[in-house]
Structures are given as structure tokens and as C-alpha cells.
């Protein structure tokens, strides 16, 4: 099997049987359930993009292992150009989905585990990297979608993994056997988890010798025995089941679709284990993954902002407000804020560097700055979109009432805007703006790829403030 189309990806998901629960029900088929269809569609677009003539330059790559054409989402970066192309690809796909397309998390996980396993082996004489290459080759050849499962539930935030009252608050090894390990715990908020083929599980924090059982990294198929997925709620998610227009973004949804993944004594064969007890490598893995994912956010979120800015302008036109100076000013502000994010992602890619394994990573300081800017700019962009839209964003009657034979004519008459623009056009734009700026979508910009505080910690570590102090002392002619 080689690269898949979106349809082939959907067909491949039918062959795996993960345990998935949503709203108290066990889900029979993720591909056919309305709660997941938009997320599957968004991920499917990453497959179609790699084969589409207008996108393949960005969305595909050449495998350094096989020399074959592969999806960029399974590629290991080997140059600045690779890092830049990733950002451009994310923007291009985000413009089309207006929502998270999920596949980047696993991609960043693959790149991080690739470089860290190489370094563990150099220091410890282990053979994790070779094992990982075998898996990577399979993922590239079969074009698999892999989730990046890093965040643990974390229990009491004041306590280290090994000091928690509930030892499962962080995922850990409970048994080492001749043929593999048994793990227990959970990974929370995992994007694309229910429509992936496998999970790449990584530790979530720096660890000490006491936490050695928690320093574990491995791959498992989504339907391995003992794994349960519990899908998260999203703002207005029941609209996926009872309407179309009111969803705002019926085809691709409002966010990636996150799940809690429970590992209840899951067996993992040694061939799929890439760290087991090497606690000193937990932090480098976290840092590399965080850098790679934070690098992304000025790519995908700028793509989303492009669509949102377009929707805002169209809505202004649909309401006859496009000629007002303040509307133009607000649109300029939105573009300024969005392109600032893009500048950050391109800059951290250009300033990236090679790691000992030969792969490339983005500049950590600039990647963290980019993501921290997203936690602000995305909200400001949304605020401006809501400002232009008007209060109707929160009060628009439902699609059902608009279609109702008794009151539909009133909704149509009184919800109409500019002359010549059908009410339906205005309603569609209002709902799209609602989907993109209210609720879950924005929280994703705040906490996806780590909370602002996580970025601030890395900025503090990377900022080289001693150097800045030396500069000041020299100028002020102060001796050390
Ligand atoms: Fe990809 Fe952006 Fe979604 Fe992260 S938030 S998985 S970078 S689309
Ligand atoms: Fe995300």
C-alpha cells in the first residue's frame, strides 16, 4: 500500500476497531457517526492534498529512508526548506478546512522521537532508533495517521509523577516482560485520536530517577486490547446531529476532535518501545515536540484566520457595512495580527538547525514566541470578527425556524441584510463566524501545543538573559 486518497483513508479506518465512547454510547463506526464525520473529513483532506497537483509540492515529500514519494505528514525534516514547507502546507490546508486537521501532532511526534532515540542510543548503547526506523518506514509506506499522545491527566499539579496519590495520574510501566511492557494510565486532550491508525505515546514532563517508570515512549495501534477512547464535548456539538447550516462549518467542524485515551494494562511489544526508563531524555523529547508543534501555530492558525477574515468581510458586505472606514480598519488589524503569526512560524523555521541524527528542528525560542502570540492574536482576531458581525452572532434564530412553514417567512424577512443578498447567505456567514470564534475553537488556540505558561517557561530558559545583562553592563561601563 502506498499513499492514500481521502477515500482510501476512510476505508482504512473501517478496518480498525477502536473502543470509542461519546455521550454515554459505544460508537460502532467513527467514519459514519455524525460526531466524527467533520474531523474525518479534515484529516482526509491532508491525504487528498498530498496527491492534488496544486498542493503536492507542499503536502508531499521524498522519504529519506525509501526514496519514495510520501505524505509530508510522515516525513522527517532534513532541511530548512522542509521546515518552511511544513508551515506553508499547514496554512494552505487550514485555509480550506477552517478547522484543525489533526495530523500534525503525530508528525511532530515522529520527528521528535526520531532525533531523541538516536541520542539515547549514542549515550546508552540501546537500539531504540533502529526499532523506530522500522516503524517509521511502515508508517511512511502505509501512509498511516498517527496521533501524538503526550499530555497526561497530571492529577495534583504540585506533585511529580511518582509522588501522585493515584499512580496512574501519569502513564507508566507496570510490568516488564521478556517480550514487552505493560502500561497503565491515560493521555488527555489527544487531537485526532479516534480517527488515527495508531498512537505515538510520549512522556509529558521532565523526570527524575524516581519517575523512571513514567519515562516511557511507544507506539500502539488504536485498537490494541485495553485502550478506550472517550471523546470530548465541544460547543454546540449536538448541532452535528440535528442540523446542517447551523453548524457553521458542516464539512470540517470547529476543532480537531479530542479524546481521553485510557490505557488499562496495555501490552506493548519491545519492537514498539522507544524509551523505557531513560528519564533524562524525557525533557528533551518534550521540548522538541513542543517546539515542533508550536512552530505550526503560525501556519494552521493563519490559514484559519484567512478564512475568518474573508467571512468577516463577506458578512460586512451582506449587511451593507463594507464601506464604513472602521470596518476597513478592523480588517487591516485582523490581517496584521494574522500575518504576524505567520512571520513567527516562518522565522523559527529559517532559524532551525540540524540535530545529531541529521534531522532538523525549528528554533525553540522563536517557536515558543510564535505560539504565545497565538494565545493573544487569535482572540484579538476573533474579537474584531465579532465586533464587525454585530450582536446577531449571539441571537440569530435557528435554521429549523428559518425552514419552518409558519415562521420561516418572518425569519427570512427580518434577518435579511443588504439589498440583493439572500438571507441564507447572511445566516451562513454568521454561523461560520460563530463556529470559528465562539467556544471550543478559541480555547484550542490558548491551550493547544501547551498552555501559555508552558511557553513562558521555555522562553525564560531560552532567552539567554545573562547575555543581555552583559550587553547592558558594557554599555553602562559597569564592571562584572
Ligand atoms: Fe495541526 Fe494546527 Fe490542529 Fe495542531 S492545531 S494539529 S498544528 S491543524
Ligand atoms: Fe492543536
| Percent of the chain clearing pLDDT 70 (strictly above) | 100
Q: Helices marked H in 70-164 — which ranges? A: 80-97, 103-124, 128-142
CA of 302 to the centre of ligand 2 (A): 13
Mean of all residue pLDDT scores within the chain: 97
d(CA 147, CA 372) in angstroms, rounded, equals: 23
What atom of ligand 1 comes closest to residue 108's alpha carbon? 7
User: Annotated catalytic, 258?
Assistant: yes
What is the maximum alpha-carbon separation in the chain?
84
In this structure, which residue's CA is closest to atom 7 in ligand 1? 296
pLDDT per position as a tens digit, 56-90: 999 999 999 999 999 999 999 999 999 999 999 99
pLDDT for res 480: 79
CA distances from 244 to 231, 237, 238 (A): 21, 12, 11
Q: Residues 181-216, buried b or exposed e (16+ Cβ, 10 A)?
A: bebbbbbbbbbbbbbbbbbbbbbbbbbeeebbbbbb
What atom of ligand 1 comes closest to residue 97's alpha carbon? 8
In this structure, which residue's CA is closest to atom 2 in ligand 1? 300
Q: 116: closest CA among 217, 233, 15, 206?
A: 217
In this structure, which residue's CA is closest to atom 1 in ligand 1? 104
pTM for this predicted structure: 0.97
Average pLDDT over residues 131-159: 98
d(CA 10, CA 330) in angstroms, rounded, equals: 40
Domains of the chain by range and CATH? 6-280 (2.40.110.10), 284-476 (1.20.140.10)
CA of 58 to the centre of ligand 1 (A): 16
Strands 227-231 and 360-361: unpaired
CA of 103 to the centre of ligand 2 (A): 10
322 burial (CB, 10 Å; 0-12 / 13-18 / 19+) is: middle
Average pLDDT over residues 193-197: 98
Report the pocket of ligand 1 as residue ranges, CB < 6 Å: 90, 100-102, 104-105, 191, 256, 296, 300, 448
User: Annotated catalytic, 78?
Assistant: no
Average pLDDT over residues 328-347: 98
CA of 411 to the centre of ligand 1 (A): 37
d(CA 386, CA 394) in angstroms, rounded, equals: 10
CA distances from 386 to 282, 334, 474 (A): 42, 12, 49
User: Annotated catalytic, 104?
Assistant: yes
d(CA 274, CA 114) in angstroms, rounded, equals: 9
Cβ-proximal residues to 408 (8 Å cutoff; 6+ apart), any chain: 401, 402
d(CA 171, CA 166) in angstroms, rounded, equals: 11
pLDDT per position as a tens digit, 7-61: 999 999 999 999 999 999 999 999 999 999 999 999 999 999 999 999 999 999 9
Say which of 104, 217, 276, 348 is annotated catalytic. 104
pLDDT at 451 exceeding the cut of 70: yes
d(CA 341, CA 305) in angstroms, rounded, equals: 10
Q: What is the DSSP letter of 24?
A: T
Please check whether residue 312 is in contact with residue 326, taking contact to mean a CB–CB distance below 8 angstroms: no
d(CA 256, CA 103) in angstroms, rounded, equals: 9
d(CA 358, CA 178) in angstroms, rounded, equals: 32
What atom of ligand 1 comes closest to residue 103's alpha carbon? 6
CA of 294 to the centre of ligand 2 (A): 9
CA distances from 160 to 156, 170, 173, 279 (A): 8, 9, 16, 13
d(CA 317, CA 94) in angstroms, rounded, equals: 24
pLDDT for res 2: 81
pLDDT for res 116: 98
Average pLDDT over residues 432-457: 94
pLDDT at 142 exceeding the cut of 90: yes
Please check whether residue 248 is in contact with residue 241, taking contact to mean a CB–CB distance below 8 angstroms: no
| Percent of the chain clearing pLDDT 90 (strictly above) | 98
pLDDT per position as a tens digit, 238-286: 999 999 999 999 999 999 999 999 999 999 999 999 999 999 999 999 9
User: Annotated catalytic, 297?
Assistant: yes
pLDDT per position as a tens digit, 106-117: 999 999 999 999
Report the 10 Å Cβ neighbour count for 352: 24
d(CA 346, CA 352) in angstroms, rounded, equals: 10
User: Annotated catalytic, 395?
Assistant: no
CA of 171 to the centre of ligand 1 (A): 24
Q: 118: closest CA among 349, 281, 291, 289?
A: 281
Q: 8: closest CA among 36, 56, 48, 59?
A: 48
Please check whether residue 374 is in contact with residue 302, taking contact to mean a CB–CB distance below 8 angstroms: no
d(CA 55, CA 89) in angstroms, rounded, equals: 8
pLDDT at 472 exceeding the cut of 70: yes
Q: 211's torsion region: left (phi>0), alpha (psi -120 to 50) or beta?
A: alpha
Please check whether residue 204 is in contact with residue 109, taking contact to mean a CB–CB distance below 8 angstroms: no
Residue 6 phi, psi dihedral angles, 5° rounding: -55, -40
In this structure, which residue's CA is closest to atom 3 in ligand 1? 100
Q: What is the DSSP letter of 465?
A: H
Best mutation site among 193, 196, 254, 296 for ligand 1 pocket (most ligand atoms within 8 Å of CB): 296
Element (H, E) at 287: helix 282-318
Measured distance between the N- and C-terminal CA atoms of the chain, rounded to whole angstroms:
64
In this structure, which residue's CA is closest to atom 8 in ligand 1? 100
pLDDT for res 1: 60
Amino acid at each position: 500500500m502506498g499513499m492514500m486518497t481521502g477515500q482510501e483513508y476512510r476505508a482504512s479506518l473501517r478496518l480498525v476497531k477502536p473502543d470509542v465512547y461519546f455521550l454515554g454510547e459505544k460508537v460502532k463506526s467513527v467514519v459514519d457517526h455524525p460526531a466524527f464525520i467533520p474531523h474525518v473529513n479534515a484529516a482526509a483532506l491532508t491525504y487528498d492534498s498530498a496527491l492534488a497537483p496544486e498542493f503536492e509540492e507542499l503536502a508531499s515529500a521524498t522519504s529519506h529512508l525509501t526514496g519514495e514519494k510520501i505524505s509530508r505528514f510522515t516525513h522527517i525534516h532534513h532541511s530548512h526548506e522542509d521546515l518552511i514547507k511544513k508551515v506553508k502546507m499547514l496554512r494552505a490546508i487550514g485555509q480550506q478546512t477552517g478547522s484543525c486537521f489533526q495530523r500534525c501532532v503525530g508528525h511532530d511526534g515522529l520527528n521528535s522521537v526520531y532525533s531523541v532515540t538516536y541520542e539515547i542510543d549514542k549515550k546508552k548503547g540501546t537500539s531504540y532508533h533502529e526499532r523506530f526506523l522500522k516503524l517509521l518506514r511502515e508508517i511512511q509506506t502505509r501512509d498511516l495517521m498517527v496521533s501524538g499522545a503526550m499530555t497526561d491527566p497530571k492529577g495534583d499539579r504540585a506533585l511529580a509523577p511518582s509522588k501522585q496519590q493515584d499512580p496512574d495520574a501519569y502513564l507508566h510501566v507496570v510490568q516488564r516482560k521478556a517480550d514487552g511492557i505493560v502500561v497503565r494510565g491515560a493521555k488527555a486532550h489527544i487531537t485526532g485520536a479516534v480517527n488515527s491508525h495508531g498512537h505515538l505515546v510520549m512522556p509529558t514532563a521532565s523526570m527524575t530517577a524516581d519517575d523512571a517508570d513514567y519515562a516511557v515512549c511507544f507506539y500502539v495501534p488504536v485498537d490494541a486490547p485495553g485502550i478506550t477512547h472517550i471523546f470530548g464535548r465541544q460547543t454546540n456539538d449536538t448541532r452535528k446531529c440535528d442540523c446542517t447550516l447551523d453548524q457553521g462549518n458542516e464539512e470540517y467542524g470547529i476543532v480537531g476532535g479530542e479524546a481521553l485515551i485510557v490505557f488499562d494494562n496495555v501490552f506493548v511489544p519491545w519492537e514498539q518501545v522507544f524509551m523505557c526508563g531513560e528519564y533524562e531524555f524525557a525533557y528533551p523529547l518534550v521540548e522538541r515536540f513542543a517546539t515542533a508543534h508550536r512552530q505550526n501555530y503560525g501556519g494552521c492558525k493563519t490559514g484559519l484566520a484567512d478564512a475568518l477574515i474573508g467571512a468577516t468581510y463577506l458578512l460586512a458586505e451582506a449587511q451593507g457595512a463594507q464601506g464604513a472606514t472602521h470596518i476597513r480598519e478592523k480588517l487591516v488589524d485582523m490581517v496584521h495580527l494574522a500575518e504576524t503569526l505567520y512571520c513567527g512560524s516562518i522565522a523559527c523555521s529559517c532559524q532551525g538547525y540540524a540535530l545529531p541524527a541529521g534531522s532538523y528542528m525549528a528554533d525553540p525560542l522563536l517557536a515558543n514566541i510564535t505560539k504565545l502570540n497565538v494565545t493573544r492574536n487569535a482572540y484579538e482576531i476573533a474579537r474584531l470578527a465579532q465586533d464587525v458581525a454585530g450582536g446577531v452572532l449571539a441571537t440569530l434564530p435557528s435554521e429549523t425556524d428559518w425552514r419552518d412553514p409558519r415562521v420561516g417567512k418572518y425569519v427570512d424577512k427580518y434577518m435579511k441584510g443588504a439589498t440583493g443578498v439572500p438571507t441564507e447567505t447572511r445566516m451562513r456567514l454568521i454561523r461560520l463566524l460563530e463556529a470559528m470564534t465562539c467556544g471550543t475553537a478559541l480555547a484550542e488556540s490558548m491551550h493547544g501545543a501547551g498552555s501559555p505558561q508552558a511557553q513562558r517557561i521555555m522562553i525564560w530558559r531560552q532567552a539567554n538573559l545573562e547575555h543581555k545583562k552583559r550587553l547592558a553592563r558594557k554599555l553602562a561601563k559597569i564592571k562584572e
